[in-house]
Amino acid sequence: MADSTIWWLMTGGAVVLELLTGTFYLLMLAIGLAAGAIAAHMGLGVTGQLVLAAVIGSLTTAGLYLHRKKKPADPSVRSLRSVNLDIGEIIQISEWQDDGTASVRYRGAQWQAVTRSGQPEGPGSYRVTELVGNRLMVEKA
């Protein structure tokens, strides 16, 4: 069996595994394996094929990692209005406790409210920005 055939079979195997797992990192490694197959078609020796596949696979994987690291993270699902209709609702807080929380009556139940900064801002109107368990994360409205 030709070297290039083995490389193409490994490339296909990596693509199948990527489709089963849903990660793009295996796809980047498959690009490296394809580079090894192309190197075999060009007549490079086994050492050259291995080096080229390793370098291309490593560079594409590192590039994908750096690209994902730079990209801002998706917002928390707990803060999306399309998921939770409480987001954006206005509540009235009459007093804050010393620990930075407030007890609020909302939707017929007692809730604890906290601000993102952790520092209470005083009585008044607050907008719900996120639900964390049974706590309402709020900001001044």
What tokens were used for 141?
Answer: 């409205």
For residue 77, what pLDDT band results from cuts at 50, 70 and 90? confident
Instruction: Read off the pTM.
Output: 0.57
Task: Give the residue extent of every domain in the chain.
Answer: 3-70, 77-140
Q: What pLDDT, on a 0 to 100 scale, did the predictor assign at position 118? A: 67
In tens, the pLDDT along 105-139 reads: 888 889 999 987 767 678 889 999 888 888 898 98
Model confidence band, residue 8 (pLDDT cutoffs 50, 70, 90): very high
The answer to whether the CB of 115 falls within 8 A of the CB of 138 is yes
Q: Of all residues in the chain, what percent carry a pLDDT higher than 90?
A: 53
Backbone phi, psi, residue 88, to 5°: 95, -10
CATH architecture of 77-140: Beta Barrel (2.40)
Q: What is the distance, to the nearest Å, from the Cα of residue 140 to the centroid of all Cα atoms in its chain?
A: 28
C-alpha of 101 from chain center: 30
